[in-house]
Amino acid sequence: MSLCQEKELNLNIQSAKLSSLGPGSSAMVVSIPEHPLLYSLGLRPGKIIQCCGCQLFGGPLMIKTGDRQVALSKIIAEKIIVDII
């Protein structure tokens, strides 16, 4: 037996569109579309976000990034790819 044993790390990372997250779900941003306001809202690749909810009838998606809560249109949320945590 060796002093150091390696264990296989099994990561079940699942990529999805931001719009498909349910309330309370957390995810890491993988890619965002070209949009001048997304970086200023705190959305950038590598950032951890949490879905707070979605408004009815195709309304905005509410997310939390850091201390900030942001509303995103469904059209923009469809273009943001995340890894579900």
**Per-residue pLDDT for 10 more than 60?**
no
Encode pLDDT of 55-70 as tens digits: 777 789 999 998 999 9
Domains and CATH numbers, the chain: 14-84 (2.30.30.90)
CA distances (Å), origin 82, targets 2, 3, 4, 56: 39, 38, 34, 22
- For 14-36, the pLDDT digits (tens) are 899 999 998 999 999 999 999 88
Confidence of residue 13 (pLDDT cuts 50, 70, 90): confident
Residue 12 has pLDDT above 50, yes or no: yes
Contact (Cβ atoms closer than 8 angstroms) between residue 54 and residue 78: no
pLDDT in tens, 42-56: 899 999 999 998 877
